[in-house]
């Protein structure tokens, strides 16, 4: 196992030991969620489990004057970590998606949109390993291929089903219950780490669904960069693709870095005819954590959903 994998796994293990299975929720925790945030229970037939969807509605969504207004939608993985330190799995940190989106919409930098946080299926650890065959875990659902560096090992993963989970279950539910614009030009998907890997995989394996994708600190290394190899000669890419990564995510002497992995993906996309103006690559100082993803989120949101007015 290379040092990069060790560092990331140890970091996540430390966070996991500090939090309960449901996140940082406790009687002492003060919620940091802001804005019009709805939390809905959602059952998946595909994954045989139940999770929460966290739906951030733009200001004015419920106003009578906007009752016939539809909004673009950004679906994001790891919903627990997006809005509230009290639910964050790897906290006490969060992406501050609600604060950032509400502020940038109010400033006119981003078009009003709905952001749907899709909770992951929970931690992967030794205690839950047998249970995962029934209800899944975060790696089980986000990995399209087994990750040999994962501890404890998970020989069978179901990330190949994530595209169907999104397009056949989550999206129809949101489109039925909320006023959303449809079509790839109005639909985005984003995530970080394993969530960034599965975002790239979904973009590769769906046609005409997601026109905006946000890929932060992606775990492209899994199975010797299998997802990047699959992407060779693929031509049906989203109209806007954002990549974010930190220069401090790996040790200085590690030859394999997150920015380097992103560069591998960029090379493939360019060979497939994706023009430079369709991509934004945002490499900054930062570690593999919610603080770094929160700091880069404004640039991602402005690129993916700019206010055209």
Say how far apart CA 21 and CA 109 lie, in whole Å.
37
Say how far apart CA 242 and CA 207 lie, in whole Å.
18
* CB neighbour list of residue 302: distance below 8 Å, 6 or more residues apart: 104, 109, 110
- Helical packing angle, 222-231 and 258-271, nearest 10°: 20
Q: Give the CA distances from residue 88 to residues 78, 83, 84, 85, in Å, rounded to whole numbers and listed in that order.
A: 9, 8, 6, 5
Say how far apart CA 228 and CA 221 lie, in whole Å.
9
The span from the first CA to the last CA of the chain, in angstroms, equals 50
Say how far apart CA 190 and CA 55 lie, in whole Å.
14
Beta carbons of 81 and 275 less than 8 angstroms apart: no
pLDDT score at 136: 76
Beta bridge partners of 110: 306
pLDDT score at 131: 58
On the question of pLDDT at 35 being above 70, the answer is yes
Strands (E) across 143-239 are located at 187-192, 212-216
More confident: 256 or 35: 35
pLDDT score at 218: 98
pLDDT averaged over the chain?
90
pLDDT score at 135: 57
* Residues 257-282: tens digit of each pLDDT: 999 999 999 999 999 999 999 999 99
Say how far apart CA 194 and CA 299 lie, in whole Å.
21
- Choose among 79, 104, 76: nearest CA to 189: 76
**For domain 3-18+35-304, which CATH number applies: 1.20.210.10, 3.40.930.10, 3.40.50.1820, 1.10.10.10?**
3.40.50.1820
On the question of pLDDT at 291 being above 60, the answer is yes
Q: Give the confidence band of 126 by pLDDT, cuts at 50, 70, 90.
A: low
Q: Exposed, middle or buried: residue 8 (CB in 10 Å: 0-12, 13-18, 19+)?
A: buried
This prediction has a pTM of: 0.90
Q: Give the confidence band of 8 by pLDDT, cuts at 50, 70, 90.
A: very low
Q: Give the confidence band of 153 by pLDDT, cuts at 50, 70, 90.
A: confident
pLDDT score at 108: 97
Cα torsion 271, 76, 196, 262 to 10°: value is 50
The tokens describing 222, both together, are 């899994």
* CB neighbour list of residue 13: distance below 8 Å, 6 or more residues apart: 151
On the question of pLDDT at 6 being above 70, the answer is no
* Residues 82-117: tens digit of each pLDDT: 999 999 998 789 999 999 999 999 999 999 999 999
pLDDT score at 13: 34
């Amino acid at each position: 196992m290379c040092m990069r994998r060790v560092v990331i796994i140890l970091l996540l293990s430390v966070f996991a030991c500090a939090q309960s299975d449901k996140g940082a929720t406790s009687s002492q925790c003060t919620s940091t969620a802001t804005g019009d945030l709805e939390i809905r229970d959602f059952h998946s037939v595909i994954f045989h489990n139940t999770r929460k969807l966290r739906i951030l509605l733009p200001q004015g969504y419920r106003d009578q004057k906007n009752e016939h207004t539809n909004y673009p939608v950004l679906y994001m993985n790891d919903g627990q970590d997006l809005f509230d330190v009290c639910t964050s799995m790897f906290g006490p940190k969060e992406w501050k998606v609600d604060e950032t989106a509400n502020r940038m919409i109010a400033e006119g930098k981003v078009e009003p949109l709905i952001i749907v946080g899709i909770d992951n299926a929970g931690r992967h650890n030794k205690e839950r390993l047998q249970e995962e065959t029934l209800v899944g875990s975060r790696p089980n659902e986000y990995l399209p291929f087994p990750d040999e560096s994962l501890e404890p090992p998970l020989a069978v993963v179901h990330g190949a089903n994530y595209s169907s989970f999104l397009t056949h279950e989550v999206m129809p539910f949101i489109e039925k219950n909320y006023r959303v614009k449809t079509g790839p030009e109005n639909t985005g998907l984003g995530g970080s780490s394993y969530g960034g890997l599965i975002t790239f995989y979904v973009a590769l394996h769906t046609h005409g669904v997601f026109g905006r994708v946000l890929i932060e600190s992606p775990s492209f290394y899994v199975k010797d960069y299998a997802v990047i190899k699959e992407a060779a000669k693929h031509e049906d890419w989203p109209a806007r693709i954002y990549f974010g990564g930190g220069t401090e995510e790996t040790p200085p002497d590690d030859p394999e870095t997150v920015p380097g992995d992103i560069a591998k993906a960029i090379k493939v996309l360019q060979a497939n005819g994706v023009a430079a103006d369709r991509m934004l690559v945002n490499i900054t100082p930062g570690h593999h954590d919610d603080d770094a993803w929160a700091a880069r989120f404004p640039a991602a949101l402005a690129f993916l959903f700019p206010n055209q007015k």
